[in-house]
Structure 1
C-alpha cells in the first residue's frame, strides 16, 4: 500500500484549522473538539476583571482509542490561567502549556492540553483563570469594556459589557474561537445585587 512520512512540523500544519483567525485545532486525528461550555465567573468591578473557571466538554476526533490526544484552544496572551483538571483530577504542569511558538499579537497564544490516553466519551476539562485588568498601555481583555459610574448616564453604578466579535471571545474565556466549532453553553455569573446580568440566554437567579 502507498504511504507517506511527514516531518512533525508538517503533520502539525495539516492538523491546523483552515480558518486563519484561529490558533485552535478542533479538527483532525489526535485532537478534541468542544461541544459544550459551562462558565462560572465572578465580576470584580474593583479590580476590573472576571475570575472563576470554565468547564469545557470535549470529545475525541477520529483516532485510535488508546492513542494520545490533545485539546488545543484559543487563548489571549493576557488571560491568566491558574490550573487545569480533567473530571476533577488536577493536571500537572507537564500536561498543559501555552504554545509560545505560535504566539501572535492579534490572535493570542494557544493553550495545549494533553488528555488522558484511552479515555472514552466526553471529557470535562476545567480551566481556572482570570481576565487581565485594563492598563495604561492597552493591556487587559479586548473583549471586556468597563465603565465607571461617572461614565454612565445615571452616574451611580458601574457598567460592563462584552464584545466577542470577531476574535475577542478568547480574551474572555479559553475556547475554540472559530465558526468551525459550534457549542451550547450555560453560565453562572456573580455580580453585585444592585446590578443585572444579561446575556443571550434564558435568565435565572438565586436571589443573591
Structure 2
C-alpha cells in the first residue's frame, strides 16, 4: 500500500517525535556490543528510509532517550556514507529527545553511531544473583510501550513497521538471542534477521548464559542451562498447538516458534 502525506498525518503519534508524515524508516540494521561491566550497548544503527509520496524530506527525526550520539552519516546508495549534521533536542522526561538528522537529496540510508546509558529505561541489567544459575549477568530489553528509543534511535511508534537485522557481540561464554531468525550462532558474535515488518517495541533481545532445547523441528525453548530441560517439558505441546491453529487458519507465517524463558527475577508476563 502506498503511503501518502495525508494518511500519515492522520495517524500522528503524539508520543513520538518522528516526522513519519515526511519520511518512514523501513528497515533497521543493528551492530551492537553488549558491555556488562559498564551496563551499556555501543555501536551503530543503520536506518533505511523511504520518503512519503509527494514529499522531498530534508531531515529525518527519530526518537531517542538518554543516548550519547557520536555521529550521524547519510548515504544515497546505501554503500558510501558521509557525515551529516544532527541536532539532539533537550530531553523531555517522558518522551526523551528528538534527534534531527539532515538528509542530502535522495538519501536512502542513515547511520547513527552511539552508546546507551546505564540508566536506559528499556534495558534491564541483571546481576548474577538475580539469575537462576547465579554465575553470569543477564540482559533483556523491555521496549513496550516507548522504550525502544532508549537503546535504538528510531521512529519509536507502533504505526511505523520495520524489518530488521542485527549483529550482537557478547563475551564468551554468553549468548545472544533475538525475536528474529538466527543466521550465525557465535561465539562472541551473533547475527539475526527478520523479514516481516513489526512495530519497534517488538524488537527483542536477550544476552546471558542461555541454552537451547528443541521441542520439534520448528519449536524450542531458550533458557538458562539449569532450567532449560524443565522449560522444554512445560512447553512440549507447543508444536501440536501450532498444528491445530494451522488447521483452522493456514500455515504459520513466522517460520519458527521459539520461546525464551527469562530468569526468575523477570517481573512481567504475556505474549504477542
TM-superposed deviation, 1:17? 6.1
Corresponding residue number in structure 1 for 2:170: 191
Counterparts of 1:82 and 1:17 in 2: how far apart (Å)?
32
Counterparts of 1:36 and 1:55 in 2: how far apart (Å)?
8
More strand by share: 2
1:47 aligns with 2:38: yes
TM-superposed deviation, 1:68? 5.1
Residue pair 2:51, 2:57 contacting (<8 A) in 1 also = no
Q: 1:73 to 1:16 in 2, by over 3 A?
A: farther
Counterparts of 1:116 and 1:144 in 2: how far apart (Å)?
33
Selected match of 2:58 from 41, 58, 69 = 69
Q: What do you get for the CA RMSD once the two structures are aligned?
A: 2.0
Counterparts of 2:40 and 2:102 in 1: how far apart (Å)?
28
Residue pair 1:60, 1:69 contacting (<8 A) in 2 also = no
Segments of structure 1 that go 5 or more residues without pairing to the other structure are 1-13, 134-139
TM-superposed deviation, 1:97? 0.4
- Encode CA deviations 1:149-202: one digit per residue, 9 max, x unaligned: 122221111111110000100001101011221010001100112112111111
- Encode CA deviations 1:103-147: one digit per residue, 9 max, x unaligned: 421111110111002x1xx611110000011xxxxxx10010111
Selected match of 1:112 from 80, 87, 100 = 100
Aligned length: 176
Residue pair 1:32, 1:69 contacting (<8 A) in 2 also = no
Q: TM-score, normalised by structure 1?
A: 0.78
Residue pair 1:54, 1:173 contacting (<8 A) in 2 also = yes
Q: 1:97 to 1:166 in 2, by over 3 A?
A: same
- Encode CA deviations 1:11-38: one digit per residue, 9 max, x unaligned: xxx96962122111111xxx32100000
Corresponding residue number in structure 2 for 1:127: 112
Q: TM-score, normalised by structure 2?
A: 0.60
Segments of structure 2 that go 5 or more residues without pairing to the other structure are 1-7, 189-272
Counterparts of 1:206 and 1:104 in 2: how far apart (Å)?
38
- The within-5 A match list for 1:75-86 is 75-76=64-65, 78-86=66-74
Q: Tell me the secondary structure at the aligned position of residue 64 of structure 2.
A: coil
